Amino acid sequence: MLPAHERIPLPVIAPAPARPGLPVVAMLAPVALAIGMWIMTSSPFALLFALLGPIMALASALDGRRTARRARRRELATARTRLAELELDLGARLRARVAALAEIAPPLERLAFDPSRTAWRIGTGDVPSGIELASGDEAPELAAEVARLRERAAWLRDAAVVVDDADEFVLTGAAALTRALARSLVLQAVARCAPGTAHVVAPADEGWTARLPARCDTGEEWRVDAEGRQVLAIRGSAGGARAVELHLGEAGEEPWVATGASAWRPCYLAAVEAAVLACRLADEAYEAGWRPPSAIPAGLGLDEFLDEPVPRASAALLGVGAEGIVTVDLEQHGPHALVAGTTGSGKSELLVSWVLALASRRPPRELAFLLIDFKGGASFSPLAALPHVAGVVSDLDAGGALRAVESLRAEVRRREAVLAAHGVRDIVELDDGVLPRLVIVVDEFAALIALDGELQSIFADLAARGRSLGLHLILGTQRPAGVVRDAVLANVTVRVCLRVLEAGESTAVVGRPDAARIPADRPGRGVLQDGFGAREVQFARADAGLVARVAERWSGHPAPDARTWLEPLPALVTLDELPRALGPSIGLVDIPDEQRREGLVVDPWRDGALLVLGASGSGRTHALAAIASRAAPAEVRWIAGEPAELWAALVTRAVEGRTLVVADDLDLVLARCDAEQRAELADLMCRAARETRTTGIAIVASSRGAGGALQAASTAFEQRMLLRLPSREEHLLGGGDAASFRADRRPGSAVWRGREAQLAMASACVPPWHAELEVARLADGGWGLATSQPERWIERLSAAGIAAFAVGRAPGEAAVLVGDVEAWLVEHVALTEFRRAGRLLLSGCSRAELRALTRSRGAAPPLAGEHEAWRIDGVAATRVRLDPDAVGELTGVVT
Residue 136 pLDDT exceeds 60: no
pLDDT value at position 653? 83
* Rounded Cα distance, 479 and 481, in Å: 6
* Mean pLDDT across 55-65: 71
Which residues lie closer than 8 Å to 480 by C-beta, 6 or more apart? Answer: 338, 340, 445, 489, 508, 509
Assign residue 477 a region: left if phi > 0, alpha if psi is -120 to 50, beta otherwise? Answer: beta
* Rounded Cα distance, 212 and 323, in Å: 19
SS3 114: coil
Instruction: Please tell me which residue, 560 or 849, carries the higher pLDDT value.
Output: 849
pLDDT value at position 892? 40
Segments in 105-197 forming alpha helices (H): 143-154, 175-191
* Rounded Cα distance, 700 and 666, in Å: 10
SS3 155: strand
What angle is formed at CA 196 by the lines to CA 190 and CA 199, rounded to 5 degrees? 55
Kindly report which listed range (329-333, 654-658, 802-806) carries the lowest average pLDDT score: 654-658
Work out the mean pLDDT of the chain and round it to a whole number. 84
Beta-bridged to residue 596, according to DSSP, are 591
Residue 809 pLDDT exceeds 80: no
* Mean pLDDT across 106-113: 90
* Mean pLDDT across 264-290: 86
Measured over the CA atoms of residue 218, residue 219, residue 225 and residue 231, the dihedral's sign is positive
SS3 535: strand
> How many of the other CB atoms lie within 10 Å of CB of 149?
19
* Rounded Cα distance, 895 and 889, in Å: 13
| b/e code 607-624 from CB counts within 10 Å (16+ = b) | ebbbbbbbbeebbbbbbb
pLDDT value at position 14? 60
DSSP letter for 435, please: S
pLDDT value at position 229? 82
Taking alpha carbons only, the member of 465, 474, 486, 489 closest to residue 444 is 474
Calculate what percentage of the chain has a pLDDT beyond 70. 89
Which residues lie closer than 8 Å to 636 by C-beta, 6 or more apart? Answer: 628, 660, 662, 766, 769
> How many of the other CB atoms lie within 10 Å of CB of 791?
11
- Could you read off the pLDDT of 598-607 as tens digits, one per residue? 888 999 999 9
pLDDT value at position 262? 61
Instruction: Please tell me which residue, 822 or 857, carries the higher pLDDT value.
Output: 822
Residue 754 pLDDT exceeds 60: yes
The answer to whether the beta carbons of residues 627 and 700 sit under 8 Å apart is yes
Q: How confident is the model at residue 252 (pLDDT cuts 50, 70, 90)?
A: low
CA distances to 36, 53, 57, 63 from 30, in Å: 10, 5, 11, 21
SS3 497: strand
Kindly report which listed range (71-80, 471-480, 684-693) carries the lowest average pLDDT score: 71-80
Residue 2 pLDDT exceeds 60: no
Residue 888 pLDDT exceeds 90: no
The answer to whether the beta carbons of residues 714 and 670 sit under 8 Å apart is no
- Are 302-553 and 588-759 equal in CATH topology? yes
- Could you read off the pLDDT of 341-379 as tens digits, one per residue? 998 899 999 999 999 999 988 888 888 999 988 887 678
* Mean pLDDT across 503-522: 87
* Rounded Cα distance, 364 and 439, in Å: 12
Instruction: Please tell me which residue, 184 or 166, carries the higher pLDDT value.
Output: 184
Measured over the CA atoms of residue 67, residue 69, residue 72 and residue 78, the dihedral's sign is negative
pLDDT value at position 55? 74
Rg of the Cα atoms in the chain? 53
DSSP letter for 459, please: H
Q: How confident is the model at residue 886 (pLDDT cuts 50, 70, 90)?
A: low
What angle is formed at CA 458 by the lines to CA 348 and CA 723, rounded to 5 degrees? 95
pLDDT value at position 860? 87
Residue 260 pLDDT exceeds 60: no
pLDDT value at position 162? 87
The answer to whether the beta carbons of residues 759 and 585 sit under 8 Å apart is no
* Rounded Cα distance, 529 and 512, in Å: 10
The answer to whether the beta carbons of residues 675 and 703 sit under 8 Å apart is no
Segments in 579-724 forming alpha helices (H): 604-607, 620-629, 643-651, 666-671, 675-690, 692-695
* Rounded Cα distance, 538 and 519, in Å: 12
The CATH superfamily assigned to 588-759 is P-loop containing nucleotide triphosphate hydrolases (3.40.50.300)
pLDDT value at position 685? 92
* Rounded Cα distance, 529 and 337, in Å: 10
pLDDT value at position 891? 44
Pairing of strands 635-640, 659-664: parallel
Q: How confident is the model at residue 638 (pLDDT cuts 50, 70, 90)?
A: very high
What is the CB-side half-sphere exposure of residue 17 using CA atoms within 13 A? Answer: 14
* Mean pLDDT across 24-52: 73
- Could you read off the pLDDT of 310-345 as tens digits, one per residue? 777 678 888 888 777 888 988 888 899 999 999 889
- Sketch the domain layout of the chain as residue ranges: 11-20+22-101, 107-290, 302-553, 588-759, 774-887
pLDDT value at position 421? 92
Residue length of the chain: 895
Residue 50 pLDDT exceeds 60: yes
Segments in 576-656 forming alpha helices (H): 604-607, 620-629, 643-651
CATH number at 302-553: 3.40.50.300
Residue 135 pLDDT exceeds 80: no
* Rounded Cα distance, 490 and 729, in Å: 38
Kindly report which listed range (8-12, 358-362, 463-467, 746-750) carries the lowest average pLDDT score: 8-12
The answer to whether the beta carbons of residues 236 and 170 sit under 8 Å apart is yes
Calculate what percentage of the chain has a pLDDT beyond 90. 21
CA distances to 633, 681, 862, 879 from 895, in Å: 38, 18, 11, 13
* Rounded Cα distance, 214 and 188, in Å: 13
- Crossing angle for the helix pair 643-651 and 675-690, nearest 10 degrees? 30
Taking alpha carbons only, the member of 811, 521, 749, 466 closest to residue 615 is 749
| b/e code 649-670 from CB counts within 10 Å (16+ = b) | bbbbeeeeebbbbbbbbbbbbb
Q: How confident is the model at residue 880 (pLDDT cuts 50, 70, 90)?
A: very high
pLDDT value at position 555? 83
pLDDT value at position 893? 39
* Rounded Cα distance, 414 and 419, in Å: 9
The identity of residue 808, as a single letter, is G
- Could you read off the pLDDT of 529-587 as tens digits, one per residue? 987 788 889 999 998 889 999 988 888 777 665 556 667 788 888 887 787 666 688 89
Q: 829 — phi, psi (to 5°)?
A: -65, -45
pLDDT value at position 895? 33
- Could you read off the pLDDT of 400-440 as tens digits, one per residue? 777 778 788 888 888 898 999 999 999 989 888 788 899 99
User: How is the beta sheet containing 222-226 ordered, strand by strand?
Assistant: 214-218, 198-202, 222-226, 229-235, 168-172, 244-247, 256-257
Residue 879 pLDDT exceeds 70: yes
Q: How confident is the model at residue 177 (pLDDT cuts 50, 70, 90)?
A: confident
Instruction: Please tell me which residue, 866 or 11, carries the higher pLDDT value.
Output: 866
What angle is formed at CA 398 by the lines to CA 396 and CA 399, rounded to 5 degrees? 130
